[in-house]
Amino acid sequence: MSISTSRNRRLLVFAGLALFALLLSGCAADAPQDTLQPAGPNAREARDLWNLVFPIAVVIFVIVEFLLVFAVIRFRAKPGREASQFHGNTKVEVILTVIPALILAGISVPTIKSIFELAEEPTGNVLNVTVVAHQFWWEYQYPDLGIVTANELHIPVDVPVRIRLEGQPTDLVDGTSEVIHSFWVPRLGGKQDIVPGRLNLITLAADEPGTYMGQCTEYCGLGHAEMRLLVEAHEQADFDDWVTDLKDTPESTDDLVAQGEDLFIQGQFAGGPACSSCHTADATADAPNAGPNLAGFATRMTFAGAIFENNEANLISWLRDPPGMKEGAKMPNLQLTEEQLTALVAYLQSLE
């Protein structure tokens, strides 16, 4: 066997194994972003359409690939024989045009029906949320409730959530043009782009209380892979409590917390200005912010684009060096002293 043949064979085995591993990755039973396990009516509609179209596509794929491989082997060149030569066959070409056209026409009926159903404006009891995408985190405004939060979207169950996806014309941090992001919570609804200067609408809903993972699905810069989100669905009464709690600014008598709050509002650090130049901890503040609104921060499970678990160790690492923790993060390293760090962490953990 020559060296090049054995190398080719090894490459083939490697490619085969890689393909097999890729296939196996589809077998995860508890994948948190599984479109095939819808948890609400909108996601179910998309899954049902997929259930209809996918088997048809599989059958066509198998037939076409079988014929292709058969033709390649049967008519190939052999020692002493040239590969078979064909030039057009009107009958076959007409058949191969008509059959796909009929299949596509058939599939288009349920597809168009689903597209229109999913685009329908929900009526009755609807929760309106405006989603603003930033590099690299999510802002959620609840215009009817007068609150703003970030990264973790809270919704009541069984209520259609009408989401306005607003593209920002300019980035608030450095004045450069904003980029396209895409909002996707696979188990609750479809995927929709957020395009600068445009308004897109999407509806999602959850049947049961729970946590549903999502993420940005349009490459938007260095931190794209770390621009995740989660949706917390509550029973209506629990959701109402969440809103009430968020509007309440907690009062603390703790000295360290007071010191942290002072730093948050008017601290001047070696690496940058006070936290309040980009953040607020008031959920009802309507002024736009360059950084996430931090009201109720201590009750959040995650932070920084739903990337890190919200615990003291992660918070300390984050405040020490945000861009070191998350690629592309716009929050600078403020070069906090240990005392400043301790006070700020205490303040953030008091925001319930």
Is 189 or 223 the residue whose CB approaches ligand CUA more closely?
Answer: 223
Is 45 or 226 the residue whose CB approaches ligand CUA more closely?
Answer: 226
In angstroms, what is the minimal distance from the CB of 214 to ligand CUA? 11
Is 204 or 344 the residue whose CB approaches ligand CUA more closely?
Answer: 204
Is 217 or 299 the residue whose CB approaches ligand CUA more closely?
Answer: 217
- Nearest CA among 253, 243, 131, 146 for reference residue 192: 131
* Residue recorded with tokens 């696979």: 186
Residues 6 or more apart from 103 whose CB is under 8 A from it? 56, 60
Is 224 or 330 the residue whose CB approaches ligand CUA more closely?
Answer: 224
Is 227 or 336 the residue whose CB approaches ligand CUA more closely?
Answer: 227
Is 181 or 234 the residue whose CB approaches ligand CUA more closely?
Answer: 181
Q: Which two tokens stand for residue 44?
A: 């179910």
Is 183 or 308 the residue whose CB approaches ligand CUA more closely?
Answer: 183
In angstroms, what is the minimal distance from the CB of 229 to ligand CUA? 10
Instruction: Evaluate whether 305 touches 151 at the Cβ level (below 8 Å).
Output: yes
Residues 6 or more apart from 62 whose CB is under 8 A from it? none
In angstroms, what is the minimal distance from the CB of 268 to ligand CUA? 31
Q: To 10 degrees, what angle do helices 41-74 and 90-119 make? A: 170
In angstroms, what is the minimal distance from the CB of 217 to ligand CUA? 7
In angstroms, what is the minimal distance from the CB of 221 to ligand CUA? 7
- Binding residues for ligand CUA (CB under 6 A): 133, 136, 181, 216, 218-220, 224, 227
In angstroms, what is the minimal distance from the CB of 142 to ligand CUA? 21
In angstroms, what is the minimal distance from the CB of 328 to ligand CUA? 10
- Nearest CA among 331, 266, 269 for reference residue 136: 331
Distance CA 188, CA 32 (A): 11
In angstroms, what is the minimal distance from the CB of 298 to ligand CUA? 26
- Nearest CA among 273, 285, 287 for reference residue 335: 273
